[in-house]
Amino acid sequence: MQRSLHIDPLKCTGCLQCEMACSYHAEGAFNPSRSRIKVFTFHEAGRFAPYTCTQCDEAWCMHACPVEAITTDLETGAKVVSESKCVGCKVCTIACPFGTINYHHVSGKVVKCDLCGGDPECAKACPTDAITWIDADWTGLDRMRASAEKSLAGVAAS
């Protein structure tokens, strides 16, 4: 069964536990700047939104890589960067429409979310369930159902 990250920004409090867990897992340091997930702050609205690689089916980053350093982990579905193959050209960072691949200045390679090999630390660390690790077939179903119920309630009230 394929799984995926589900992010609900309405539940995010901006605590940055996801960034801390990710950076520690990936880099061995509690340093949000080294995290593969970022929490964006919308000051005016007082809102936060966790954001990371969406693991696209037709991943532009993977197709753009001239040395085929990005491959799909068949078990997790994650697009994984092979540090030994990556030449640090950054073509994938340009190709990604979401900006979720970053150049790591220390290694001279690119880094991105690899779903922690199928056990994402960000989801385990999130105290509000703003980030959850769910069956990929159910991604968005709850939101679709809630939206449909809201629409039906609006029709019934008319």
The residues facing 48 across adjacent strands are 41
Asked if 23 and 30 touch (Cβ cutoff 8 Å), the reply is yes
Report the number of distinct structural domains present in the chain.
2
Pairing mode of beta strands 79-81, 70-72: antiparallel
Q: Are residues 34 and 69 in the same domain?
A: no
Sign of the four-CA dihedral 102, 25, 113, 38: negative
Give me the domain span that covers residue 146.
1-52+117-158
Q: Are residues 98 and 146 in the same domain?
A: no
**Predicted local confidence at residue 143, as pLDDT:** 65
**Predicted local confidence at residue 2, as pLDDT:** 83
Asked if 118 and 75 touch (Cβ cutoff 8 Å), the reply is yes
Mean pLDDT by 10 residues, the chain (158 residues): 90 97 97 95 94 94 98 95 97 96 95 96 98 80 69 67
Helices (H) and strands (E) in the chain, counts: 5, 8
CATH number at residue 33: 3.30.70
CA 94/CA 98 separation, integer angstroms: 10
**What is the helix (H) or strand (E) element at residue 72, kind and residue range?**
strand 70-72
Q: Are residues 122 and 48 in the same domain?
A: yes
